[in-house]
Amino acid sequence: MSHLKTLLATTMLVACFGAAAQAKTLVYCSEGSPEGFDPALYTSGTTFDASAHPIYNRLLEFKKGTTETEPGLAESYEVSEDGLEYTFKLREGVKFHSSDSFTPTRDLNADDVIFSFDRQGNSENSYNAYVSGASWEYYNSMSMPDLVASIEKVDDLTVKFTLTAPNAPFLANLAMPFASIMSKEYADQLEAAGTPEQLNQAPIGTGPFQFVAYQADAAIRYSSFDDYWAGVEPIDDLVFAITTDASVRQQRLAAGECHIMAYPNPADLESLQQNADLTVMEQEGLNVGYFAYNTTQEPFDRPEVRRALNMAINKQAIIDAVYQGAGTVAKAPIPPTMWSYNDNLVDDEYDPEAARAALEEAGVTDLSMKIWAMPVSRPYNPNARRMAELMQADFDAIGVDVEIVSYEWGEYLERSSAEDRDGAVLLGWTGDNGDPDNFLAVLLGCDAVGGANRAQWCNEEFDALVQEAKTLPTQEERAELYTQAQEIFKQEAPWATIAHSVVYVPMRSEVTGFVQSPLGDMTFDGVDIAE
Amino acid sequence: MLRFFLSRLALIIPTFIGVSIISFAFIRLLPGDPIMLLAGERGMSAERYAQLSAEMGFDRPLVAQYFDYLMGILQGDLGTSIVTRRPVLDEFFTLFPATIELALCAIVLATALGIPLGVLAAVKRGTWIDQTVMGTALVGYSMPIFWWGLLLIILFSGTLGWTPVSGRISLLYFFPPVTGFMLIDSLLSGQDGAFLSALSHLILPTIVLATIPLAVIARQTRSAMLEVLGEDYVRTARSKGLSPRRVIGLHALRNAMIPVVTTIGLQVGVLLAGAILTETIFSWPGIGKWMVDSVFRRDYAVVQGGLLLIAIIIMFVNLLVDMLYGLINPRIRH
């Protein structure tokens, strides 16, 4: 009898291990550690990839591979005539994850939605300061406190947002990571237990993957959520293997230690593309690298001077040397993957002779200027110092003397915002929500002068178009105005638009179903591993 | 011995205060503002800046901030990370075992190889053995760690496929940490092959981190041995007819060990500094990588707290070395 027991136990063990061995695990070599798992507290893409995308959902989601929104936890919504009231109908029967310490007793309802936003904007909410220094950066920087007058529960599955003014980009905001919907029931339970900080460390959401464990700076583990409202995932487990060095990520991918890797070194792309076991996906990033003049200072306050200088910049040489080919020449302030991109714009042609003549015609001689070079590498500008040197040589060719200056990054950001700044700055932008307003108003609007508007450029005609576009209900109507605004931008040339960088995602050839997001998000729902 | 110990201990208090001031001042002397870094390209309105600054206590006079910090330390509170919003002490103790495990393996390897190699070079002074050992030590000492690590990865992990590329254990294994030391935890987990996986992940980082201390220990052992081998008592021992092994092992090496032990103790600082690069390249989740990231993000609380904790460890190890010193050479106690 005891032999039989042993045999049975062994068989069961083998069966268990056998099943475990067949579990499909997708490993993603990520570039860094998440700061936490409550996406509303943070601003980095690394954190969003680890929290907002696998674990949570939002009322609206970005349609895969696009910057357009589609229904998420809200199955539909209505906008009132005056554009002030947005009423969302929630999906029925949406389940929350469970964990060792939490078992949900109810499905998603309006209370969860209200809690998720109220905690960010209402200082009376007990979760407003549940971790020390919680600043709800995105909620504030997307102007939600000024925009949202109230959020009300109409019934269990209906929520109404009332705005202070019509604002079309509001919908895109709701698809952003900070608008992830949390479980109020879980938050209440944690509060009662005196451990509210667990909301940020042991997350519970409605998303495609459940959080299993975070091994600090080493790995994050998730398992597929069996009750996911949009269907069960093809893989069983998802692992983020945190690997900060790009060369090491590449080695791990080649050795089969991971299936997908983040941010390859541009210099390694060729060898990655030649490896038969790998596929390299590419897409223009939702970004722009620009060179902003200070349009309040002589002689850069004149569009003809700015346009003349723009003609002296050899952008293709910059793409080759600085982006190592992984970029495209930018002619508009918004990237080509974004709706309302004006493809009819004609870029200033690289022509040093014409540039020199135009400067003379404008009466500018013996011009000397400063070029500000960022001290850090960013996707929109991988090496600003090198770029500044190339531009220095370009300007020298037309008789403009250039001095390159740089500061520590925090210092650079602060000083470059100053209205009396001396010189033109190299900087860039990566879109937050795929809405053109997020580029045109944030970077070039009159309100942003002295802040993110580094050109200090306030053009009334441009600003009026961008402000009006915000209030229009349909995308077509808005696109029309944004297209016109881009023409004014090109005519006035507050910036030289340099490049849109290309984002590459290398992966093992057996990976299927991965869709690159123009927003740069890494999302793994729908991804499978072919046998 | 007790008086010696107490006098050493008394020295630690002013050192500790000095370190707390330096660690506090160091990160603040660097240009750059953590709040502006949080805001990024978007920038921040003056009101919002003032609000965040007040919330984080940066608007108060530096002296007041320092005393808050000092009072916090005395109560065992090193503050909260600006970035992750988690207590610095929690983060430190989560990551510290990984660094200790790697550093211990490296110092054991460096000592186990460095001392015999140094002795060998001293005994065979002037021969090709001596020149090979010392030549290799010089190369090891001058090697940039980052480049060396990448080279080993490309050869042993990439081309030959003998060792894993990076990390502490294969991702197939997963168990909750008990001690934080992967070698021990993998044994405790009882999962088949976990220990071997952890061990294989340690090989390359250990070699890389041990390279510089190994070179230093070998060179130090050689020169100390050479000095001792010329002493009268060694000649006496030889003339007594003792076997060369006894002369070297018992008489010469024991006396040559005093400067070597000091050197090994001093390597703790080198190991923690080397861990910064080694951890980065091997994705080793320890405090070295954590400190580097925090300096870049101007995470004041983490940098000052981390520096202080590392300094305390180094002070503690130095105290230990002083004690050992007293044991090996009784004259020092007086």
DSSP string covering B63-79, please? Answer: HHHHHHHHHHHHTT---
Question: For residue B10, is it within any domain?
Answer: no
A7: Cβ contacts below 8 Å, ≥ 6 apart: none
Q: Does A241 touch chain B (CB under 8 A)?
A: yes
Q: What is the pLDDT of residue A11?
A: 41
Residues of chain B contacting residue A140, judged by C-beta atoms under 8 Å apart: 48
Model confidence at B236, pLDDT cuts 50, 70, 90, reads confident
Per the domain annotation, does B141 fall within a domain? yes
Q: What is the mean pLDDT of chain A?
A: 91
- Please give the share of chain B, as a percent, with pLDDT higher than 70: 98
| Cis upstream peptide for B61 (omega within 30°) | no
DSSP states of B316-327 as a string? HHHHHHHHHHHH
The whole-number average pLDDT for the span B44-62 is 82
Under the banding of pLDDT at 50, 70 and 90, the label for residue A19 is very low
What confidence score (pLDDT) does residue A76 get? 96
Strand pairing partners for A79? A86
Sign of CA dihedral A187, A188, A191, A193: negative
Range of the domain at B273: 90-286
Residues 6+ positions from A245 with CB-CB distance below 8 Å: B280, B281, B283
What are the phi and psi torsion angles at A156 (to 5°)?
A: -55, -35
In terms of Cβ atoms closer than 10 Å to its own Cβ (0-12, 13-18, 19+), residue B88 is: buried
Question: How high is the mean pLDDT of chain B?
Answer: 86
B14-50 confidence digits (pLDDT tens)? 888 898 898 898 888 887 788 877 777 777 777 778 8
- Asked whether residue B332 is assigned to any structural domain, the reply reads no
Q: What is the DSSP letter of B247?
A: I
CB of B283 less than 8 A from some CB of A: yes
**ipTM beyond 0.95?**
no
Q: What is the largest CA-CA distance in chain A?
A: 104
Sequential DSSP letters for A339-389: TT--TT--PPP--HHHHHHHHHHTT--S-EEEEE--SS-BTTBS-HHHHHH
DSSP-assigned letters across all residues of B177-197:
-SSS-HHHHHHHH--TTHHHH
B41 vs A405: which has the higher pLDDT: A405
A405 in contact with B, Cβ within 8 Å: no
Cβ-count burial of A100 within 10 angstroms (0-12 exposed, 13-18 middle, 19+ buried)?
exposed
Identify residue A132 by its one-letter amino acid code.
Answer: S
**Beta-carbon separation of A408 and B31 below 8 A:** yes
pLDDT at B256 exceeding the cut of 90: no
Q: Do A279 and A330 meet the contact criterion of CB atoms below 8 Å apart? A: no
Beta bridge partners of residue A238, listed in sequence order = A26, A222
pLDDT for position A489:
97
Mean pLDDT of A12-36: 71
Six-digit token string for A244:
């900060």
**What pLDDT is recorded for position A16?**
41
Residues near A304 by Cβ (< 8 Å), separated by ≥ 6? Answer: A358, A361, A362
More confident residue, B333 or B21: B21
Give the nearest chain B residue to A137 (CA atoms): B39
Q: Do A251 and B42 lie within an 8 Å CB cutoff? A: no
Q: Which of A340, A318, A325, A348 is nearest to A269 (CA)?
A: A325
Distances B223 to A423, B120, B140 between C-alpha atoms, Å: 59, 11, 17
Q: How far is it, in rounded angstroms, from Cα B216 to Cα B198?
A: 28
Q: Given an 8 Å threshold on Cβ–Cβ distance, is A414 in contact with B33?
A: yes
pLDDT at res. A447: 86
Note whether residue B15 is domain-resident: no
Strands A287-292 and A495-508: antiparallel
Give the β-pairing of A60-62 and A69-71. Answer: antiparallel
Tokens, residue B326: 């007293």
Which DSSP string corresponds to A355-366?
Answer: HHHHHHHTT--S
- Those residues whose C-beta lies under 8 Å from the C-beta of residue B17, and which sit 6 or more positions away, are none
Strands A219-224 and A209-215 turn out to be: antiparallel
Contacts of A40 (CB under 8 A, 6+ apart): A116, A119, A120, A136, A138, A139, A177, A178, A179, A180
Residues with Cβ within 8 Å of residue A18, at least 6 apart in sequence: none
More confident residue, A185 or B37: A185
Q: Among residues 248-307 of chain A, which lie with CB inside 8 Å of chain B?
A: 248, 251-252, 254-255, 257
pLDDT at A22: 64
Band (pLDDT 50/70/90 cuts) for residue A17 is very low
Q: CA A168 → CA A244, A339, A475, A479, distances in Å? A: 38, 14, 9, 12
Q: Establish if B75 belongs to a structural domain.
A: no
| Residue B31 within a domain | no
- Is the pLDDT at A75 greater than 90? The verdict is yes
Percentage, residues of chain A above pLDDT 90: 76
Of the candidates A32, A218, A254, the beta carbon closest to that of B158 is on A254
- Six-digit token pair at A74? 């809200």
8 Å CB contact between A61 and A76? no
| Nearest neighbour of B48 by CB, restricted to A25, A132, A140 | A140
Q: Higher pLDDT residue, B151 or B247? A: B151
Q: What pLDDT is recorded for position B332?
A: 64
Residues in chain A closer than 8 A to B177 (CB atoms): 215
Bridging pattern class, strands A287-292 and A424-430: antiparallel
Predicted pLDDT of residue B280:
85
Residue count of chain A: 531
CATH of residue B249:
1.10.3720.10
Per-residue model confidence (pLDDT) at position B16: 86
Question: What tokens does A467 get?
Answer: 């402000």
Please state, in angstroms and rounded to a whole number, the distance separating the CA atoms of residues B16 and A217.
29
- Report DSSP letters for B104-155, one per residue: HHHHHHHHHHHHHHHHHHHHTTTSHHHHHHHHHHHHHHHS-HHHHHHHHIII
Å between A262 CA and nearest CA of chain B = 14
* B295 touching chain A per CB within 8 A: no
What is the Cα–Cα distance from A456 to A356, expressed in whole angstroms?
Answer: 25
Listed residue (A333, A77, A54) closest to A211, CA to CA:
A54
Q: Percent of chain A beyond pLDDT 70?
A: 96
Residue of B167, B245, B47, B26 lying closest to A255 (CA atoms): B167
pLDDT at residue A21 greater than cutoff 70: no
As beta bridge partners, residue A502 has A284
CA distance B54 to chain A (A): 10
- Contact present, B28 and A405 (Cβ < 8 Å): no
pLDDT over threshold 50, residue B133: yes
Interface check for A128 against chain B (CB to CB < 8 A): the answer is no
Secondary structure class of A144 (helix, strand, coil): helix
Give the relative orientation of helices B88-123 and B300-328 as an angle to the nearest 10 degrees. Answer: 40
Q: What letter does residue B80 receive in the DSSP assignment?
A: B
Q: Which DSSP category does A69 fall into?
A: E
Residues whose CB falls within 8 Å of the CB of residue A344, separated by 6 or more in sequence, listed in order:
none
Q: Is B153–A251 a contact, with Cβ atoms under 8 angstroms apart?
A: yes
- B322 inside domain: no
Answer yes or no: is pLDDT of A63 > 60: yes
Binned at pLDDT 50, 70 and 90, residue B333 comes out as: low
The strand pairing partners of A161, in sequence order, are: A86, A151
CA distance A521 to A174: 16
Say whether residue B46 is in contact with chain A using an 8 A CB cutoff. Answer: no
Contact A215/B at CB under 8 A: yes
* Inter-chain CB proximity B36 and A248 less than 8 Å: no
Mean pLDDT is lowest, of A47-56, A300-309, A429-438, for A429-438
Q: Which of B117, B287, B73 is nearest to B213 (CA)?
A: B117
Average of per-residue pLDDT across B76-92: 87
**Residues of chain B positioned with their CB less than 8 A from the CB of A217:** 95, 283, 285-286, 289-290
What is the interface size between A and B, counted as CB pairs within 8 Å? 139
Residue B325 located in a structural domain:
no
Predicted TM-score of the model (pTM):
0.84
Residues of B in contact with A410 (CB under 8 A): 31-37, 298
Residue A372 pLDDT greater than 50, yes or no: yes
Six token digits for residue A511: 């990976």
Number of domains in chain B: 1
Angle at A118 between CA A112 and CA A119, to 5 degrees: 95
A289 pLDDT higher than 70: yes
Count Cβ atoms below 10 Å from residue A294 Cβ, excluding itself: 24
DSSP conformation letters of A478-489: HHHHHHHHHHHH
Say if residue A5's pLDDT is above 80. Answer: no
Q: Residue A428: its chain B contacts at CB < 8 A?
A: 41
- Chain B (263-282) residues lying within 8 Å, Cβ to Cβ, of chain A: 280-282
Asked whether the beta carbons of A511 and A277 are under 8 A apart, the reply is no
Looking at residue A119, its pLDDT comes to: 96
Residues 183..242 of B with a Cβ closer than 8 Å to A: which?
none
Looking at per-residue confidence, does B53 or B44 come out higher?
B53
What average pLDDT does range A126-152 have in this prediction? 88
Q: What is the mean pLDDT of residues B88-92?
A: 91
CA–CA separation, B330 vs B323, rounded Å? 10
Residue B95: closest CA among chain A residues belongs to which residue?
Answer: A216
Q: Do A137 and B38 make contact, defined as CB atoms within 8 angstroms?
A: yes
Residue A482 pLDDT class (50, 70, 90 cuts)? very high
> In the predicted model, what is the mean pLDDT of residues A21-45?
88
Q: Does A60 touch chain B (CB under 8 A)?
A: no
CA A441/CA A449 separation, integer angstroms:
11
Q: Specify the range with the lowest mean pLDDT, choosing from A199-208, B78-87, B181-190.
A: B78-87
